[in-house]
Amino acid sequence: MRKINNKRWVFTVAVLIVINLITLSFLWFSRSIKKDHVNLSDEFRVERYLRKELNLNEEQIRFFKGARREHFKSIQTLTQDMHSARVALTRLLAEEPDTAAVEELIRAVVTKQAELERYNFQHLRKLRSVCNEVQKPKFDSVMLKVVNRMQRLRHARHKRKKRPE
């Protein structure tokens, strides 16, 4: 009788271990899938939002998608250059830097940032150009909301990073 009870316990524990391993592997695998698809979901979310808010037709949707891809390709080198200049500037913190070198790197970052703003403005003008007269005021309103939201997010991030002394 005792032998049967022991076998049942061993079997039950083994089944529970297998169930736990399956559950853990499922959770781990589903998290890695979500991480891989974050950018796609962001892109689709923006597309869906603009489609709904502006009531875009299929031709406009195709144009917006193509323009978005083209825009991100065109600014990729620019953002990489800006990042490299910021990294170089940060590395100068470890030494007694030459003021001219610091100023040169700051100018490089500022110049790239201005160029990025120019690209963004041109991109938005291009998107706006395919909107009809009813959609244009709504487009302007949506873009203003986006700019304000980005500012609030930056401000909130800054507030979170501040620690009481």
Structural domain boundaries in the chain? 37-161
Q: For position 129, what pLDDT does the model report?
A: 96
8 A C-beta contact, residue 79 and residue 59:
no
pLDDT less than 50: residues of the chain: 36, 38, 165
Which residue, 43, 49, 48, 68, is CA-closest to 130?
A: 68
Q: For position 35, what pLDDT does the model report?
A: 52
**Alpha-carbon radius of gyration of the chain:** 26
The helices-and-strands tally (H runs, E runs) of the chain is 5, 0
Global pTM value: 0.64
Q: For position 42, what pLDDT does the model report?
A: 60
Q: State which fold the 37-161 domain adopts.
A: Four Helix Bundle (Hemerythrin (Met), subunit A) (1.20.120)
